[in-house]
């Protein structure tokens, strides 16, 4: 088992392939296995790094409240310790928020950036068109947190998957191993929600990131994800947006071949 210690926390990681460095940052509840459907295809062209964010699966779970800033610092430390910087960085969901947050502070670590549906609700909270939708999403997330505070990790995980992330019935389609991972990592989701800045982004700081950026969303996902992408794209100098038709929150799982093809072409054009 390979681990790097960052600020006293051991982070599990795996590397493979050869070529320009590529780092994959997973979202909440999951771990490095979230990328299993695409990692080998990426490794045909890149030296790929996957890891478990702190508090997830094989990485250490420190006691006490955490923050997204710590996840950002972890990513920076991994990039530097393993010789991956500057890298192509890919993030999904909370992993996308983590990558963007770091890019706003440490743009020199990024060769290019591809993020899918960062749940940065604060970025569009002031847009009247999305006010009700954002409030409803926050309400559902608060409901998940309430379940986790009672100690019912299974109900919290199921509710998150079915009402926040993927839609009704999605939990029942999960394989047993994935359900077990979500339940095991449930406390870290509650920890993430305790960070008052989890849904915010330093847009002004992001203006200083000159790395090419691709902001994607799924056509079947809630509309506010598209609004977040557009606002961020209007801030990042080298950004463009793209929609994955027929996909939702996890296109690297549901449409892996198309996902790899689109991101590989983007990174090739980014140079």
Taking alpha carbons only, the member of 230, 213, 223 closest to residue 123 is: 230
Looking at residue 64, its pLDDT comes to 74
Looking at residue 66, its pLDDT comes to 83
CB 57 within 8 A of CB 184: yes
Report yes or no on whether pTM surpasses 0.75: yes
Sheet holding 213-218: strands in order across?
A: 3-6, 9-17, 46-51, 20-25, 87-92, 110-116, 213-218, 239-244
Q: Kindly list the domain boundaries of the chain, sorted by start residue.
A: 3-127+203-270
Looking at residue 238, its pLDDT comes to 87
**Residue 183 C-alpha from the chain's centroid:** 18
The CATH architecture to which 3-127+203-270 belongs is 3-Layer(aba) Sandwich (3.40)
Looking at residue 1, its pLDDT comes to 66
**Residue 178 C-alpha from the chain's centroid:** 17
Per-residue pLDDT for the chain (271 aa), expressed as one digit of tens each? Answer: 699 998 889 999 999 999 999 999 999 999 999 999 999 999 999 999 999 999 999 999 998 778 999 999 999 999 999 999 999 999 999 999 999 999 999 999 999 999 999 999 999 999 999 999 999 999 999 999 999 999 999 999 999 999 999 999 999 999 999 999 999 999 999 999 999 999 999 999 999 999 999 999 999 999 999 999 999 999 998 899 999 999 999 999 999 999 999 999 999 999 7
Cα three-residue angle 120-111-263, rounded to 5 degrees: 70
Q: What is the DSSP string of 179-231?
A: HHHHHHTHHHHHHHHT-TTTT---HHHHTT--S-EEEEEETTS-HHHHHHHHH
Cβ contacts of 120 within 8 Å, gap of 6 or more? 97, 100, 199, 200, 201, 228, 232
Strands 20-25 and 87-92: parallel
């Amino acid at each position: 088992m390979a681990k790097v210690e960052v600020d006293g926390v051991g982070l599990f990681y795996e590397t493979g392939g050869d070529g320009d460095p590529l780092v994959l940052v997973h979202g909440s509840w999951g771990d490095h296995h979230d990328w299993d459907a695409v990692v080998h295809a990426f490794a045909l062209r890149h030296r790929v790094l996957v890891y478990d964010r702190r508090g997830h699966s094989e990485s250490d779970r420190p006691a006490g409240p955490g923050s997204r800033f710590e996840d950002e610092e972890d990513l920076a430390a991994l990039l530097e310790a393993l010789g991956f910087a500057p890298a192509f960085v890919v993030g999904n969901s909370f992993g996308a928020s983590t990558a963007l947050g770091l890019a706003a502070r440490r743009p020199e670590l990024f060769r290019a950036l591809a993020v899918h549906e960062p749940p940065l609700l604060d970025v569009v909270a002031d847009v009247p068109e999305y006010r009700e939708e954002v409030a409803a999403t926050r309400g559902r997330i608060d409901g998940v947190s309430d379940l986790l505070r009672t100690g019912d990790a299974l109900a919290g995980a199921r509710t998150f998957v079915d009402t926040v992330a993927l839609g009704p019935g999605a939990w029942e389609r999960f394989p047993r191993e994935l359900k077990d991972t979500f339940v095991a990592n449930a406390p870290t989701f509650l920890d993430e929600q305790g960070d008052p800045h989890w849904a915010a982004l330093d847009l002004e700081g992001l203006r200083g990131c000159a790395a090419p950026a691709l902001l994607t969303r799924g056509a079947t996902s809630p509309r506010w994800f598209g609004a977040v992408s557009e606002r961020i794209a209007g801030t990042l100098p080298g950004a463009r947006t793209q929609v994955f038709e027929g996909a939702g929150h996890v296109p690297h799982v549901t449409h892996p071949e198309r996902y790899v093809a689109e991101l590989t072409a983007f990174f090739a054009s980014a140079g």
